[in-house]
């Protein structure tokens, strides 16, 4: 009976022992699996991780440092049978202890253990583990050398860099421990090196170059200063400063010897100014030191003596000065580095101040006179513009009366200049190098001429020469140039009445500007001799021969005919795409100021440009040196173009008329204008 009970008791003890051992083994498994979580608490296992990241985590987890404490042996030493047995053990713990409900352990099991524990296909993983073990051993060796004092400062910096590069693949806790160790010894190494640098500085010979080295000591060793101890930095600073004082005290007597080159009786202040400038350049950072300050005061005293001896004739020189710039130059030459409390400084600065006030007052008077003259000029221009506007309005009314009277007899068979412009545009659509046009374009052209009572003489395709006639015997001639896509239309009346002649004469003077004038001239008799313009896109002309009358509208797309810029203010031009020159004549050597503003479309696909131009293709530029659409100018027809842009002050190198243009040869798709104000100096 006793034996029976003893056997049962022994069996229970064996079961309890086995259960306890198994629980202990599973505890080791869970601790091992939790290493990654402990190292990377922020790791999101539900997010995508690249294979490189997972490989690196696996290499650390299976490396000797973390695998041997768990298994008792290195992973690479295990046989295939042992690895399989370990796998069954881990799998059993995973299932029985519910690890699958722990998101982190489930991720480690599925992504690391499952993929690497039973990988027998190659020995690549084992070799990588060996490499990781060697890397960790190398870091341990470097840290041992560091603790033994066998690393200098530069080697420590190299190791710090390696912690962020090749050693960075190790777990964060390892890098943190290594970094703390490195930081501890880095300060000691920095102290040693900084102390050595200070000793080298103290051994420098006394010279200007040595002074420069000493003054830049802290900047040159800034990295050491960041890591050295405060006590060491204080010691080093004291040693370097003492050496600076020694060098400065040595150099000052040599600097004072230079005063022999600037005698107090000299009448040339530039010599002492140069000596002072050189001294300040060399010793500006040590002027607070006693010896340097004393030497600088000697230089100041010498300059005061020189200027004081010149004061008698300087007074006349100051009075002869005409501009503030000259006065500023003289003040800098004479007053700089003088003792501001000296009689010489106070006397001379007072004279210069009074002269400055005199120059400013004179400049203000001149500026006021200019403003007054400009205002008077603008008032006169406005008055004349108002007179012209009244004359234009009167003339336009006369044109309206004549039109109404002539319509009684001729209905719509006397086209206006504007009518000719629109029918010309319809014609030019068909005049192109390809000589092709659509039926709708031809129909539109025929309809427009028909609306004016004209029918084509002849038939066939549209051509570059066509004649139309109305019921009154008036002819309309169309002439085109296919290559240039240009052309003209002429209305010819062989027996024009005086009323018809008067109508066209007054219409062109009332609504258009003579291309050679800066504004409308309604009361001139020049209508029969020149082209007139509105936008410049089309040129209009009126001329008679006996009873014969010809009215012409001609395209000017390529600006073949020069057009004077319109004057919209006393000194303000309006520069349109077709403007080419102004009525402003300048002499050689004359200075003038131009100020430009405004917007202009400079192409269907390029958008708007200001007078400064835009960054675009220069294929259509008049001058490819300057931006497309920019405002450019030249003096005289044969002058060289220069960039005006938004303006500036210019000086002519020849005599002639001022030309202003938009830097664009293809102006047919341009629109808008620039305004430019000028002032003659």
Determine the pLDDT at residue 18: 34
Average pLDDT for 62-85: 89
CA distance 150 to 143: 10
Determine the pLDDT at residue 11: 33
Is the pLDDT at 15 greater than 70? The verdict is no
Work out the angle between the directed axes of helices 172-202 and 230-256 (0-180°, nearest 10): 30
User: If DSSP codes are grouped into helix, strand and coil, which group holds residue 512?
Assistant: coil
Determine the pLDDT at residue 12: 34
Determine the pLDDT at residue 267: 67
- pLDDT tier, 279 (very low <50, low <70, confident <90, very high otherwise): very high
Determine the pLDDT at residue 120: 57
Determine the pLDDT at residue 218: 95
The two tokens of residue 339 are 């003792």
* 594-628: pLDDT as tens digits: 999 999 998 888 889 999 999 988 888 999 999 99
Is the pLDDT at 8 greater than 60? The verdict is no
CA distance 646 to 118: 78
- Tokens 């009448």 -> residue: 267
* 375-386: pLDDT as tens digits: 888 888 888 889
CA distance 380 to 403: 34
CA distance 182 to 156: 7
> Are 462 and 435 a contacting pair, CB within 8 Å?
no
Three state DSSP letters for 220-286: HCHHHHHHCCHHHHHHHHHHHHHHHHHHHHHHHHHHHHHHHHCCCCCCCHHHHHHHHHHHHHHHHHH
* 183-226: pLDDT as tens digits: 888 888 899 999 999 999 999 999 999 999 999 999 999 999 99
The two tokens of residue 646 are 């938004």
Q: How many CB atoms lie within 10 A of CB 282?
A: 15
- pLDDT tier, 665 (very low <50, low <70, confident <90, very high otherwise): confident
CA-wise closest residue to 204 among 212, 233, 194, 225: 212
Please return the burial class of 299, using the count of CB atoms within 10 Å of its CB with bins 0-12, 13-18 and 19+.
Answer: buried
pTM: 0.53
Q: Provide the mean pLDDT of the chain.
A: 88
Q: Could you give the C-alpha distances from 498 to 141, 290, 439, 526, in angstroms and in order?
A: 117, 103, 40, 17
Residue 288 backbone phi and psi in degrees, to 5: -75, -15
Q: Could you give the C-alpha distances from 560 to 486, 554, 624, in angstroms and in order?
A: 11, 11, 20
List, in sequence order, every beta strand (DSSP E) within 325-398.
none
User: If DSSP codes are grouped into helix, strand and coil, which group holds residue 493?
Assistant: strand
- Name which of 170-174, 264-268, 393-397 the model is least confident about: 264-268
Average pLDDT for 450-476: 92
* 620-662: pLDDT as tens digits: 899 999 999 999 999 999 999 999 999 999 999 999 999 999 9
User: Higher confidence at residue 553 or residue 23?
Assistant: 553
* 318-376: pLDDT as tens digits: 888 988 899 998 888 888 988 888 888 998 899 999 999 999 998 888 888 888 888 88
Determine the pLDDT at residue 9: 39
* 46-67: pLDDT as tens digits: 788 888 999 999 999 999 999 9
| DSSP output for 542-611 | EEEETTEEEEEEEE-TT--S--BPEEEETTEEEE-TT--B-S-EE-TT-EEEEEEEEEEEESTTT-EE-T
* 419-455: pLDDT as tens digits: 999 999 999 989 888 888 898 999 999 999 999 999 9
Average pLDDT for 250-263: 90
Determine the pLDDT at residue 605: 81
| Strand 513-514 versus strand 486-493 pairing type | unpaired
- pLDDT tier, 153 (very low <50, low <70, confident <90, very high otherwise): confident
Is the pLDDT at 151 greater than 60? The verdict is yes
Determine the pLDDT at residue 246: 96
CA distance 544 to 52: 94
Determine the pLDDT at residue 121: 52
Q: How many CB atoms lie within 10 A of CB 126?
A: 16
- Tokens 């009074």 -> residue: 354
Determine the pLDDT at residue 599: 95
Q: How many CB atoms lie within 10 A of CB 334?
A: 24
Q: Could you give the C-alpha distances from 7 to 1, 17, 21, in angstroms and in order?
A: 10, 15, 21
CA distance 656 to 639: 9
- pLDDT tier, 525 (very low <50, low <70, confident <90, very high otherwise): low
* 29-51: pLDDT as tens digits: 899 999 999 999 988 877 888 88
> Are 667 and 559 a contacting pair, CB within 8 Å?
yes
Determine the pLDDT at residue 17: 37
Determine the pLDDT at residue 625: 94
The two tokens of residue 550 are 């010809």
* 90-146: pLDDT as tens digits: 999 988 888 888 889 999 999 888 888 876 555 788 889 999 999 999 999 999 988
Paired residues of 614 in beta bridges? 628
> Are 658 and 582 a contacting pair, CB within 8 Å?
yes
Determine the pLDDT at residue 529: 66
CA distance 154 to 186: 9
> Are 568 and 554 a contacting pair, CB within 8 Å?
no
Helix then strand then coil, in percent of the chain rounded to 5, is: 55, 15, 30
CA distance 181 to 146: 8
Average pLDDT for 480-501: 91
């Amino acid at each position: 009976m006793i034996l029976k009970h003893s056997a049962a008791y022994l069996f229970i003890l064996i079961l309890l022992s086995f259960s306890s051992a198994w629980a202990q083994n599973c505890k080791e498994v869970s601790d091992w699996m939790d290493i990654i979580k402990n190292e990377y608490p922020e790791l999101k296992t539900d997010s995508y991780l690249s294979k490189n990241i997972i490989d690196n985590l696996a290499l650390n987890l299976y490396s000797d440092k973390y695998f041997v404490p768990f298994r008792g042996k290195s992973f690479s030493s295990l046989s295939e049978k042992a690895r399989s047995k370990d796998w069954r053990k881990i799998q059993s713990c995973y299932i029985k202890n519910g690890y699958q409900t722990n998101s982190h352990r489930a991720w480690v099991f599925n992504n690391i253990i499952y993929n690497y524990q039973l990988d027998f296909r190659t020995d690549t993983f084992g070799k990588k583990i060996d490499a990781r073990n060697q890397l960790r051993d190398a870091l341990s060796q470097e840290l041992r050398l560091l603790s033994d004092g066998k690393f200098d400062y530069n080697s420590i910096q190299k190791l710090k860099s390696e912690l962020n590069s090749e050693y960075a693949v190790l777990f964060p806790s390892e890098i943190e421990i290594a970094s703390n160790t490195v930081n501890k010894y880095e300060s000691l190494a920095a102290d040693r090196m900084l102390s050595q640098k200070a000793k080298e500085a103290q051994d420098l010979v006394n010279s200007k170059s040595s002074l420069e080295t000493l003054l830049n000591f802290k900047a040159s060793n800034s990295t050491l200063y960041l890591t050295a101890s405060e006590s060491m930095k204080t010691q080093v600073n004291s040693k370097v400063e003492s050496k600076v004082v020694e060098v400065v005290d040595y150099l000052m007597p040599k600097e004072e010897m230079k005063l022999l080159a600037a005698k107090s009786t000299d009448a040339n202040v530039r010599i002492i100014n140069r000596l002072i400038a050189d001294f300040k350049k060399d010793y500006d950072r040590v002027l607070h030191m006693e010896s340097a300050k004393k030497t600088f005061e000697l230089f100041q005293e010498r300059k005061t003596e020189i200027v004081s001896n010149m004061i008698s004739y300087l007074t006349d020189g100051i009075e002869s000065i005409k501009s503030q710039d000259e006065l500023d130059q003289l003040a800098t030459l004479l007053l700089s580095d003088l003792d501001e409390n000296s009689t010489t400084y106070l006397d001379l600065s007072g004279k210069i101040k009074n002269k400055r006030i005199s120059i400013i007052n004179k400049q203000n008077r001149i500026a006021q006179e200019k403003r007054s003259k400009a205002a008077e000029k603008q008032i006169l221009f406005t008055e004349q513009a108002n007179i012209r506007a009244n004359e234009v309005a009167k003339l336009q009314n006369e044109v309206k009366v004549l039109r109404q009277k002539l319509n009684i007899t001729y209905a719509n068979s006397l086209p206006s200049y504007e009518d000719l412009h629109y029918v010309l545009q319809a014609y030019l659509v068909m005049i192109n190098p390809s000589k092709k046009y659509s039926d709708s374009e031809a129909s539109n052209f025929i309809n427009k001429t028909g609306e004016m009572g004209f029918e084509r003489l002849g038939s066939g395709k549209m051509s570059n020469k066509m004649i139309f006639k109305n019921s009154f015997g008036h002819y309309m001639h169309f002439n085109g140039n296919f290559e240039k896509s240009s052309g003209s239309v002429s209305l010819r009346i062989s027996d024009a009445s005086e009323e018809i002649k008067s109508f066209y004469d007054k219409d062109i003077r009332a609504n258009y500007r003579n291309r050679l004038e800066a504004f409308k001239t309604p009361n001139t008799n020049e209508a029969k001799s020149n082209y007139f313009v509105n936008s410049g896109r089309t040129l209009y002309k009126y001329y008679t021969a006996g009873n014969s009358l010809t009215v012409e509208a001609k395209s000017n797309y390529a600006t073949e005919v020069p057009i004077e810029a319109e004057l919209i203010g006393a000194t303000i031009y309006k520069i349109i795409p077709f403007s080419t020159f102004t009525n402003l004549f300048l002499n050689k050597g004359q200075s003038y100021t131009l100020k430009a503003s405004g917007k202009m479309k400079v192409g269907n696909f390029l958008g708007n440009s200001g007078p400064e131009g835009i960054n675009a293709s220069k294929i259509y530029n008049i001058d490819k040196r300057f931006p497309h659409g920019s405002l450019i100018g030249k003096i005289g027809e044969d002058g060289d173009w220069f960039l005006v842009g938004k303006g500036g002050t210019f000086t002519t190198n020849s005599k002639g008329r001022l030309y202003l243009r938009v830097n664009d040869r293809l102006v047919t798709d341009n629109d808008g204008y620039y305004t430019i104000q000028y002032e003659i100096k």
